[in-house]
Each structure stands twice: as C-alpha cells, then as structure tokens.
Amino acid sequence: MTPFSDIQALIIDMDGVLWHGSQPLPGLIDFFDTLRAKHLRFILATNNATLTAEQYVTKLAGMGVRIGTEQILTSAMATASYLSREVDPATSRVFVIGEEGARAPLLEQGFTLTDTFDPVNTQTNADIVVCGLDRTLTWQKLANATYTLHAGAKFIGTNADTSLPTEQGMTIGNGAILAALQAATGVKPITIGKPEPIMYRQAMALLDTDTNKTIAIGDRLDTDILGAVRADIRSLMVLTGVSSEEDLKVSDFQPTWVMQDIRAITQALQKT
C-alpha cells in the first residue's frame, strides 16, 4: 500500500518542501498536476506569516503553478481565525509585530490595529499583542509590544519557529522574537502555528476531511511532523528542507513516511 492509497486530502508545507526562497524545487509543476489528476484536495499550510494568501498565489504562479487563495493557510490566517472565536473583533484592538501577511488577516476579521502605546490615554492601547516574523523589526516595535504586555494584553504568536531557511542559509525566525518579548515581560505567548495542532485542525475543516483520510507533508520535524502527531494525522517528511535523516535517528517521534523530495511523492501518487 502506498502512502496515498486511502486518503482524500493533503496538508502541505511550503518552505523547504516546494521551494527554497524564490527557487522552486525540482518537480514542482508535475507534483501539482498529479494532485489534480488524482482529484486530491489540498491546503498549503505554512508557519511563515510574512506573506498574504494573495502573495503566495502570485509566488506560485511565477513558478508555473496556479492555485486559489482558498488553498492557502498561513499561521497568521490561522491566528486571526482563532482570535475571532476567542474575542469580539469589533471591540478588540491588536498591536502587531509582523508584516502585511500578519496584519491583513486580522483586518479581514474586523480587528482594529494599533502601532502605538499611550501610557496616559490607555483606552487607545491594544488588548492583544500578535507577533509574527517581522523583517523590519525595530527597538521601538519591541518596546511598544513590551509596554502593552506589561499593561495586561494577551500575547499571541503566529508561530514559534526559532529559525527560517533561506537561500543564504538559516536565519532568525519568529520564535526568537517571541523569546525576547517573553524574557522582557515574563509573559508566555500562546502560539497558533505548527507544532500546535490548531492549524492542522483548521485545514481539515477547510478541506472537509478527517484525521483518517489526511496526510501532512513537511520538511521539519519540530513543526510539521510534531504538529501532525499532535493532530493525530499521518505525516510524510521530505529531505529537502530543515530536518535530515540524522535528525530522525535521535527524534522521540517519527513521521509515518520519509521520502527524498516531491518528485518521489509524485511517483508514489502515480502508482495509486
């Protein structure tokens, strides 16, 4: 039995699975052509909160793959959806560390965003701090977030990845920013992205599928694979990203399957 003989849907990571930075990985177009030929539903689910769904659609189009925004789920989108169920967006103000990808989903859910902290006119301050990866991060942003957290705001992280793979190598991830804010305030964030199961559960709801007929595909043990374990779904790890076969040897948990890359996944699909 191949990994794909009894499934209906795939939840697929992007960075390290489909591309490195702006470079598509070999076999990308064939992979998506095969998904469609096999009538497999999929969601592209990423912890990277810097881009909007529309920007990811554009990025994939530039690589020769056409998808819709409804097939994208970022940790920022998952965060906005989670918060909209926890609080009333119409009466909630959010301070955001993050880029357009973090801000846009909150605005779409009806939240009011603020970039400042006022020690005098406290009614204008945020009651939630949302932190995503921010490549324009400044001391002032960190300071205002710290003031807001000290004033009692909820602390939400889009994801806790401490590192981010790029074409130049590994660089700082959002988890390092969260750690700095936690060290400064003593407030521990609630994180939404993988390895928390929230994103996978949201993706399954969007796909109208269940744990028995869904597979998560990723490259990173501590996020993609651990998240699948916590969400009680099977997982497939590719070796084109962060985690390696050596990492597997010392891990307390394992993916259901390991394949070299998306070309190997395509070959397995074509055999079903």
Q: Quick one: pLDDT band at residue 264, thresholds 50, 70, 90?
A: very high
Torsion angle of the four alpha carbons 135, 138, 142, 145, in this order, in degrees rounded to the nearest 10: -80
188 annotated among ligand-binding-site residues: no
Residue 1 has pLDDT above 70, yes or no: no
The letter for the amino acid at 106 is L
pLDDT in tens, 158-192: 999 998 877 777 889 999 999 999 999 999 999 99
CATH for the stretch 9-47+194-270: 3.40.50.1000
**161 labeled part of a ligand binding site:** no
Q: Which two tokens stand for residue 253?
A: 């948990």
Return the pLDDT at 95: 98
Residue 247's Cα: distance from chain center in Å?
21
Say if residue 141 carries a ligand binding annotation. Answer: no
Residues annotated as catalytic are: 13, 15
- Per-residue pLDDT, 6: 87
Q: What confidence category does residue 2 fall into, taking pLDDT thresholds of 50, 70 and 90?
A: low
Three-state SS for 50? coil
| The predicted structure's pLDDT at residue 168 | 79
Ranges of each domain in the chain: 9-47+194-270, 79-191
Instruction: Tell me the fold of 79-191.
Output: Rossmann fold (3.40.50)
**β-pair type (41-46, 93-97):** unpaired
User: Is 271 annotated as a binding-site member?
Assistant: no
Burial-class residue 242 by CB neighbours within 10 Å (0-12, 13-18, 19+): buried
Instruction: Please check whether the two domains, 9-47+194-270 and 79-191, share a CATH topology.
Output: yes
